[in-house]
Amino acid sequence: MKIHAIDTGFFKLDGGAMFGVVPKSIWQKLVPPDANNLCTWAMRCLLIEQEKRLILVDCGMGTKQDAKFFGYYEPHGEGELFKSIRQAGYNPEDITDVLLTHLHFDHCGGAVKKENDKLLPTFPNATYWSERNHWDWATIKPNAREKASFLKENILPLHESGQLRFIEELSPFENIEILKVDGHTEKMMLPLINYKGQKLLYCADLIPSSAHIPIAYVMGYDIRPLLTMQEKETLLAKAVAENWLLVFEHDAHTEACSLQNTEKGIRMKEKVRLVELG
């Protein structure tokens, strides 16, 4: 097995929304905002090489939306999905599986491309994996709080193509356990990867950045913030006890980190780059 960090670029979100009840006087020291109170966030995906599979975990926001949409989020940077996959030594046609942690636009937008006015799966040879309850949550009757993040053009073409499958209780991937959490959204999936004798937790939006490790640092986007706090507390305690590394999807500067207990609670110990793991 080999793991690559896939850079799909940066985007901006309101700092207050990203830190919930934490005061700006505190969070701005961790993630400085611009003049409009917007902070820069990564859209970091994973590419996992296995013997017979090439698994992409999440795929950024994609490029098919219009200028008005992108104007809200100011995508920028040199990172791009296809470019990063090719830098890892592969082509989009080589992807065998796409694991979508959840169906918010900044995690699944790149799953579908627009070609001659048709919406098609970006990866023609891949099986796309979602969670059945989350799929229903996003498609049947999206709640008013999340509706703007569940875009039909990012989601429905996957079902229409016949390439969509659902992860039930057991993970379909060797050496990858799927943890499901419900604080951010219903049944978000977090891959826990057994990699060279160490476990790596891809945190998606449970802990979007290293600045969100403290239990109370919960996004305003979460539908069940108190549950998010409980889920973070449980997983962080286990992560410290078992020496997991956390991999961050949205941290603009830190790919991953180890953890330690401190007087203030669990905090980052050392920054880690995935390439350093071999």
pLDDT digits (tens, 9 = 90+) for 115-134: 998 999 999 999 999 999 99
As a whole number, mean pLDDT of residues 260-274 equals 97
As a whole number, mean pLDDT of residues 176-197 equals 97
As a whole number, mean pLDDT of residues 236-258 equals 98
pLDDT band for 169, please (50, 70, 90 cuts): confident
- Give the residue from 149, 133, 141 showing the smallest Cα distance to 61: 149
Average pLDDT taken over every residue of the chain: 97
pLDDT band for 62, please (50, 70, 90 cuts): very high
**Fold (topology level) of 2-277:** Metallo-beta-lactamase; Chain A (3.60.15)
3-state secondary structure of 235: helix
As a whole number, mean pLDDT of residues 50-74 equals 96
- Give the residue from 210, 254, 250 showing the smallest Cα distance to 60: 250
Give domain limits for the chain.
2-277
DSSP H helical ranges for 33-147:
67-73, 81-87, 105-108, 132-139
What percent of the chain clears pLDDT 90, i.e. is strictly above it?
Answer: 97
- The dihedral through the CA atoms of 145, 211, 173, 168 has a sign that is negative
3-state secondary structure of 160: helix
pLDDT of res. 278 = 75
- Give the residue from 144, 195, 204, 202 showing the smallest Cα distance to 174: 195
* HSE, side-chain direction, 13 A CA sphere, residue 256: 23
